[in-house]
Structure 1
Amino acid sequence: MARITAKNAQQILAADFQALVIDTERLLEHTKTLAGDQAEELRAQLNDRLIKARETLAETKDNLQERGQAAVVATEDYVQANPWQSVGIAAGVGFLIGLLATRR
């Protein structure tokens, strides 16, 4: 269940960022009608920042996937090596969440 939630959060973040990139590209297209050196300079700066943002998004996505996969593997290994401790920890966390939920 946690895998699905984390994966959905990553997908939502990536989709939002890609929408931002697409909107910026559209803005660049619409500013082509502007004249002057300042407009050209602004378009060049936006284009450079857009390229950097895409690179950053790709790096962040890869990094998050690697870290998430490593966390899943480590958790699965721990649970398989220590099943009773895992059950005890899960019961304790569930108890604490229950206490916090009833206080509100």
Structure 2
Amino acid sequence: MSDVKVVLSDAEDLLKAAAATTGEKAAELRERAAQSLKRAKEKVQDVQDIVVEKSKIVARATDDYVHDHPWKAVGIAAGVGFLIGLLVNRK
């Protein structure tokens, strides 16, 4: 995500510079900004793919645990629900 922030910051700087410039230089700056935004989009897609894959792994592990220990899972869910209920009622 830090790479994406850097690329977006660079693209923003290039667009600001292009707004202050005219002619061929402005077109070049806009093109560089477009390329930076394209790289940012690719990086975001890569991050999204990684997050989706890790989420699937965690979901599979959770499902296996619940199937292996159903009563323990029910107890944990009840405890978490109770705590959330306490927190909601406090406000």
TM-score by length of 2: 0.69
Percent identical among aligned pairs is: 45
Match of 1:90 in 2: 77
Segments of 5+ residues of structure 1 without an aligned counterpart are 1-27
1:59 counterpart letter in structure 2: D
Segments of 5+ residues of structure 2 without an aligned counterpart are 1-14
For residues 78 and 45 of structure 1, the distance between their equivalents in structure 2, rounded to whole angstroms, comes to: 50
**Which has the larger Rg?**
2
Q: Any runs of at least 4 consecutive aligned residues in structure 1 with deviations exceeding 3 A, and if so which?
A: none
For residues 24 and 76 of structure 2, the distance between their equivalents in structure 1, rounded to whole angstroms, comes to: 64
Match of 1:24 in 2: none
Counterparts of 1:1-12 in structure 2, within 5 Å, are none
For residues 79 and 64 of structure 2, the distance between their equivalents in structure 1, rounded to whole angstroms, comes to: 20
Superposition CA RMSD, Å: 2.3
Deviation at 1:40, TM superposition (A): 2.1
For residues 38 and 66 of structure 2, the distance between their equivalents in structure 1, rounded to whole angstroms, comes to: 42
Match of 1:58 among 5, 22, 45: 45
2:67 counterpart letter in structure 1: Q
TM-score by length of 1: 0.62
| Structure 1 residue 45 corresponds to structure 2 residue 32 | yes
2:56 counterpart letter in structure 1: Q
Instruction: Sort the Cα spacing of 1:89 and 1:37 in 2 relative to 1 into closer, same or farther, 3 A.
Output: same
Match of 1:9 in 2: none
